[in-house]
Each structure stands twice: as C-alpha cells, then as structure tokens.
Chain A
Amino acid sequence: MEKVENTFNKIVELEKVHHLFFDGMTLMFGGFGGVGTPPKLVDTLLDSSVKNLTLIGNDAGFPTIGIGKVVCAGKVDKLIASHIGSNPVAGKMMTDNKLEVEFSPQGTLAERIRAGGVGLGGILVDVGITSEIVTRNKQILTSGGKDYILEPALTADLSIVFAKKADPYGNLIFDKSARNTNPLVAMAGTKTIVEVEEFVPLGELDPEEIVVPGVYVDYMVQSEGVNWTWVWEETYGT
C-alpha cells in the first residue's frame, strides 16, 4: 500500500481524540442497527469515564452491537432516536425512568440531522402530523395551503462516524448499506471523528464518487474492523 501523507494532521492516534469526549455532552453516532457504527470509537467511549450523555442516532443498536453497548453501560441520560426495539435493555431502562427517550420518525430524524449539518434551523414535514407523540411541543405551520410540523434541526458537540475509505483531507466514501446515517451525522457534529477502514493518498478518490467532502471532518482514526458478533451470525449457524 502507498504511504499516505498526513498533510492536514487529521489522521491521529486514538489518544489525541480522548479530550473530545466529556460528561454531559451531546454525541451523534452513525449507523443503523449497528451496521456502520464505528466499533473502535464505541469502545473508546466505553473505556472512558464519560457519562450523562445525550445520544442522537437512528436507534439503540443491539445490547452487544454498536451504540447499544454504550446505552447498556448506563452512560446515557437521553436518547433521541427513531427505534429502540432491537435493544430490550434500552426499553427496560426507559420503562424504569433511567433513560429518557425522544422518538422521531426515522426519515424526519435523518432530515433533522441533515438540516443541522447544512446550517438550517429546521424542516417542515407532515409525517406523523396526526400523532400527538410526534407533534407534542412543536409548532404547526402552513405552507402552500398544507399543514406541516416544524421539526427542529439537530447538531451535536461531537459526531462519530464509520467510513470505508478516506483521503488525508477527510473526503469520505462508505460501504453499501453501512452508509445509512453516516454522511448526515458527519456533517452535523461541531467536531467530527471518523473511524476509517482504509486511508488512501490525496487525489486517489475520484471527486465524482466522494460522498462527504473533507471540510466536515476534523479527525480520523484507523479502524480495526467490527469486533462484535452480528445477530444473523448467531442465528444462522443454529
């Protein structure tokens, strides 16, 4: 493999990003049911003393997969997600009032994160407009004769992202369905750390194929791949 020059000093050892995690922070994570969630950054969080997090992301993972591990470790006060059904521990914590959960319809959540990442204050959407749970404490606005919910944009102190390839500037491409919320989350963090499977030299990625421009990326760490067992691996062999 060609040597990748660290031209912009964005490629760092894990220790250099420890200071970005702190108590009470808002943390946004990429991934959908654990697919596309950065394993090493999840473990960094688990190994740290950081607590009282507000987490923002698609779902609560599974108890042993993805962000689910962080939720199960009791480090999270509040979760903004669309679904926690795959993590029964999260469900129990919510029922026991140990975890506050704010549900947003999945596409609305994705678009709220995108809005945060592109400098918008919010979006107008009619999904769930008849549901009291969705519209609670939100403004209803009329545009073009139709009613919409004003859904506020979401940003975070820090975003953690998983990418297939990156160049030294932080231009990113993703792998198949592991793209999911990662490009959106990458844009919405005040700071963004990307766990990267493969670094390539500047100029090697075709500008046409880049999904997230490196302007959104602050730090990158080398991934060692997924270190959990997938649910389907457990059930397939039996």
Chain B
Amino acid sequence: MDFSANLLSILIWLPIFGGFALLAIGDDGDAASSKAGIMRLIALATSMLVLLISVGLYRDFDSTTASMQFVERISWVTAIDAWYYLGVDGISAPLILLTTFITPLVVIAGWDTIKSRPAQYFAAFLILEGLMIGVFCALDGLLFYVFWEFMLVPMFLIIGAWGGDRRIYATIKFFLYTFLGSVLMLVAFIYLYVQTGSYDLAGWMDAPLGMTTQKLIFIAFLLAFAVKVPMWPVHTWLPDAHVEAPTGGSVILAAIMLKMGGYGFIRLSLPIVPDGSEYFASLMIALSLIAVVYIGFVALMQTDMKKLIAYSSIAHMGFVTLGFFLLWKIDGDSGAALGMSGGMVQMVSHGLISGALFLCVGVLYDRVHSRQIADYGGVANTMPTFSALFVLFAMANAGLPGTSGFVGEFMVIIASFKANFWFAFFAATIMVLGAAYTLWMVKRVIYGDIANDDVAELSDLNRREFIVLGVLAISVLLVGLWPAPLIDMMNATIDQLVERVGLSKL
C-alpha cells in the first residue's frame, strides 16, 4: 500500500486513535486481568505499527533537498487562515524517528510494572506519541501550538497518576512552568499573525521584522524553549518531574520532550528572528556554558540516581543550545553548520542515552524500590548482564568514543574551538565532569562488595528488560560508530538554514 501522501497524518493520528480506543475499552483497574493483557497488546501493536510506518519515512526521505517533504496541506480554520499543514525536513525527520523508536520501548518497559489502570497509562503514552510527532511535523504556527500545548496534558496525567510520593507537586510544577513559558510564545505567534495575516511558518520566516520586534519575539520564544530544554536558570522543574515520574514518563520526558526546546530554537527562533538571535547569541552561549559547568557540579552532588541523570540531561542539553548559537561566533558557514549538526546529533544521542539510563534506574527501582545511590553497591555481583549494559550507557553519557555520546559532543567542541578558545575550554569540561558524576555513580552502585540484603537478592534482567536495553545499546553503538546516515539526513537542511540565518532581516 502507498501511504506516502498521508504518511505524516497516519503517524500522528494512528497512535492518538489507538490511545482513545484504549480509553474507550478501558480495563477493570486490575493489571492482572485478561482485559488488561489485551490492552497492553493493543498498545504494543499500535506503537510497533507506527514504528514500521516511520521506517517508510526513513526509506523515502530525500536527504539531498532542504525543502519540505511529505507535505500535506488542508484548510483548517479558514477565517484566520490557519492550515492543517504538515511536512518534514532534515531537522524534524530524525526527531520523528527517535519518537517512534522510543515509544514502543516505553510500552514494553511498562509491561508489568504498571499495576493500576494500565489501559489509561498506555493510552496516555500513545496519545503523547501522536502529539509529539505532530509538533515535529507542523508547519503552521497555530497547529504547532495546539500540539505543543496539548502535549502537556498526557504528561501531566502520567506524572500525577503513576508517579512517586511527591508526584502532585512535581506535576503541577511541570505543567505551570511549561505553560507559563509557552503562553508568551502564543502572544508572539498572534503578533506574527497580525503582522503577516497568516500562521504559515514559512511566511513568518520571510516576513521583515524590525530589531526591537525581533528582540521581543526572541525573548518570548526563549521563555518557551528554554523552559523545555531546559536551560539554566529555568531548569528547576525538571529534576522534580523526573524524580517523581514513572520510568516511562521519565524516558519520554528526557528522550523526546526536552528535544522540543532545541527543535523550537532551530525551527522557529533562528530563522524567524535571525537578528534577534544574533543579538542574544552571547547570552545564549553563556547560559549554555553555565548549564554545562555549573549543572555538572550540581549533578556530582546528587544522592538520588534519577536526579543525577536529570541534572546530567540539563548539562548535555546545554551542548545542544551551545551548538546552535555558535553560528555568529564562527567565520565561514561550514563551522556554523558543524556546530548545528553537532547540536542535532547530540539531541538524538541524548535521547537514546538518557532514555536508557532512566530505564536502567527503573530496573533497579522495580526490584528495590529505592533510587538512592546509598542503597546500592555491588550490583555487578548479582546482576552481571544489567551491569554490563548500565556501564555501557554510563560510558556513553560520559562521551566515550565509539558511543553516540561522543559524536555530538565532539562536533560541538570542535565548532567552539573555531569560535573561541574559552568556549571550547568550558564546553570540554563536560568530558571531565560528565565522566566524574556518571562513573562515580556507577562505581558506587555497580562495583564494590554487596552492600545489603536487598542487593544480594537481586535477580538479573528478565527477557523483556533485556530486549529494551539491548536494543538501546545497539542503537547507541550504531550511532557512535557510524553516524554518517544520521548526519547525511540533516546536512542539506542545515546548510540551507545556516545560509538563511546568516541573512539579516533588517
């Protein structure tokens, strides 16, 4: 069958309808019932089907062009010229593939660890998947905003209903923080609509805007995206949300939802307000470096594994924003493109690694019901397979060559060297700090003598956990050893973007 005309719509709506179907059928509130088993199967089947269809996206994607592909354009709200307008290019395609790849893993990871209301749990993830793909596909500002904002709802419910002890505080904070960030983006969107008479993103990119306007719009966008990334100093919701979220929620949050912020910068901020971005570039680089260095130290001090990984995420996402905003500090387009591709690779790689690390913590948590580093020690003795994989992901997080973590970080560091020695100096501390906090955690959790009875009674990975972590391990190594397909996919788009951003709108 040929789906290519509606491929993106199918990717968006299939999981959403799947999710609503799960809600409609419902379960008996009992995870052991046969009905709940059928729900799990439907959820897995839907997410696998979406993954398969997205393979078609990869296969038919033309990496030689920077223009939008798989475009769908249907009139939506005629009176305000808003369109149901979808399309992908080299920036969004890898992130869509990341989304479709991570979601089935999350479904499998929640297979028998979710005890209450499994149908609603899986439904929330499926709906969330569709909405996230929608954000990456939307080429109409209003459509983008609808997906962007509605995405908060399933995550709000996931953290609040299936989270830890302080889940309500964490989820309300998560919702209000991100909502506050994005409403100002909405004002900027409406302002752009009033100026151009349409919600078309391409039209906004071509619209001439004055310097003051550009600065204000940049700030409005910055609030929305910086909260999502999250950048220092608006990161405080993330550790709370991560710690309290169920494993699956943490994985999706770290692997995909944080990428929305980076995607927003590269899709909206840079091309729509290039001069505003240039004006604030130094600030952005400074904030990114603070995230890398300061948050790195903060991570070092954590006693809770999930919190440690959450802070490590903030530090690593600092690399993404650093890579994007180096553009104006480098002479020549190739260096700028290097920084930007580095940021993109870092996003994909961080999605895989942080997701894997949260899954590893989830594996331990399911057995011992503790996230405290101090409650572990000598896990390698009882869980050898798990330990091997955990060490691999930890190494990847520390940026070991051969893993995906190395590629993006290396590209960004090279690009920062071209810009300024001190940028590179501070950026490179992540190699040291990242190794310090990750490996120190590994040392305390995995190695050493068996710390207590809980650890002594641990059983190694079951088949389900092994599949999930194994698949992630392979992909981390694959991207690390052979990143060319990923980089090729985005090259044309990034070259065009660098060129466009270089042109002033004034």
Query: Do A and B form a real pair?
Result: no
Residues of A within 8 A of B (CB): none
